[in-house]
Structure 1
Amino acid sequence: MIFRVATRRDLPAVLALLADEDQVLDPATTAVGEEHERAFAAIESDARNEMLVLTDSGADGTDGTDGTVLGCLQLTYIPGLGQGGQERALVEAVRVRVDRRGEGLGAELMRLAAERARGRGCGLIQLTSNKRRTAAHRFYERLGFARSHEGFKLPLERP
């Protein structure tokens, strides 16, 4: 397995993972819209954001750039005054292909993300998860995440 920063080439596979977590979608049939292109470019150009992927080694057997994307997540680094001024890492969009679950890929993905955040000096890694994703909640708890806060979201209307 290869853990690396996503490239534009990975965008269809990442979108396929995010589109439906209960079935494997073919990235070749996943529509990549202009809004996705803009969002990916913004993530890619922002030093406080990373879209990360876990891939198999691929046909070239080297860096995973031509391998199958098996999982993904986005890490956002947030500066703060709490916790002694340490940054915290926010984890979003965690997905593992449904046909590869149960192999430890999700745990490895999260371990590597925590290692990356720790290496940057973060003192905390946090995430939110939709209340309906009970299997994901059990997974995060097995990894040592605690249900320490209640989350709130407010959808904003576009102007």
Structure 2
Amino acid sequence: MIFREATRQDLPAVLALLADEESVLDPASIVVGEAHERAFAAITADPRNEMLVLTDEAYDPDGTGAGAGTGGVVLGCLQLTYIPGLGQNGLERALVEAVRIRADRRSAGLGAELMRLAAERARERGCGLVQLTSSKRRTAAHRFYERLGFARSHEGFKLPLAP
């Protein structure tokens, strides 16, 4: 497995993971819209944000297409946002968002490895805390996070803002 920053070529696969948690969608079927392009560009341009992917060993970093169709599959993703704060003696914290593992690869330890690698990345950056929110509907995800040692410490609130 390779854990790395996502590239633009990974965007359809990441969007496929985010679009449907219960199915494996073909990234080629995903329409990458202008809003997705802007968001991905903003994430990659911001030193406090990272979109990270877990891929199989056949990742093709030079883009030659070697092994195309048999490797380099995005198996999981998450976004890390680093937040400076005055609380906890000014320790930076890492916010984890958009955690997904391909539906056909779950229960094999990939999610735990993805989260372990993300926490290690945050620790290396000097973060004193990793935090996340999860939709109340994702009860299996909640059990997963608790198995990893995350505690339900806060109640979350969201306020949608009209465009």
Checking the alignment, whether the CA contact within 8 Å between 1:12 and 1:27 is kept in structure 2 is: yes
The one-letter amino acid paired with 2:30 is T
- The structural deviation recorded for 1:10 is 0.2
Checking the alignment, whether the CA contact within 8 Å between 2:2 and 2:59 is kept in structure 1 is: no
| Alignment map for 1:16-35 (pairs within 5 Å) | 16-35=16-35
Q: 60, 77, 83: which is aligned to 1:78? A: 83
| Alignment map for 1:1-159 (pairs within 5 Å) | 1-58=1-58, 67-158=72-163
Q: For the residues of structure 1 that align with 2:23 and 2:62, how far apart are their CA atoms?
A: 23
Q: For the residues of structure 1 that align with 2:156 and 2:129, how far apart are their CA atoms?
A: 17
- The structural deviation recorded for 1:58 is 1.7
Superposed CA offset, 1:30-51 (max 9, x none): 0100000000000000000000
State TM-score, norm by structure 1: 0.95
- The structural deviation recorded for 1:64 is 9.7
Question: Which structure 2 residue ranges, 5 or more long, are not aligned?
Answer: 64-70
What is the RMSD computed on CA atoms of the aligned residues?
1.3
Q: For the residues of structure 2 that align with 1:42 and 1:59, how far apart are their CA atoms?
A: 24
The one-letter amino acid paired with 1:71 is G
Question: Which structure 1 residue ranges, 5 or more long, are not aligned?
Answer: none
Superposed CA offset, 1:30-84 (max 9, x none): 0100000000000000000000000001265xx5976000000000000000111
Superposed CA offset, 1:99-141 (max 9, x none): 0000000000000000000000000000000000000000000
Checking the alignment, whether the CA contact within 8 Å between 1:55 and 1:64 is kept in structure 2 is: no
Q: For the residues of structure 2 that align with 1:55 and 1:85, how far apart are their CA atoms?
A: 34
The one-letter amino acid paired with 1:20 is D
Identity across matched positions, percent: 81
Q: For the residues of structure 2 that align with 1:79 and 1:16, how far apart are their CA atoms?
A: 31
Q: For the residues of structure 2 that align with 1:35 and 1:84, how far apart are their CA atoms?
A: 37
Q: For the residues of structure 1 that align with 2:62 and 2:115, how far apart are their CA atoms?
A: 18
Cα distance, 1:18–1:59 mapped onto 2, change above 3 Å:
closer
Q: For the residues of structure 1 that align with 2:132 and 2:32, how far apart are their CA atoms?
A: 26
Checking the alignment, whether the CA contact within 8 Å between 1:58 and 1:64 is kept in structure 2 is: no
The one-letter amino acid paired with 2:40 is F
The count of corresponding residues between Structure 1 and Structure 2 is: 156
SS in 2 for 1:72: strand
Checking the alignment, whether the CA contact within 8 Å between 1:4 and 1:53 is kept in structure 2 is: yes
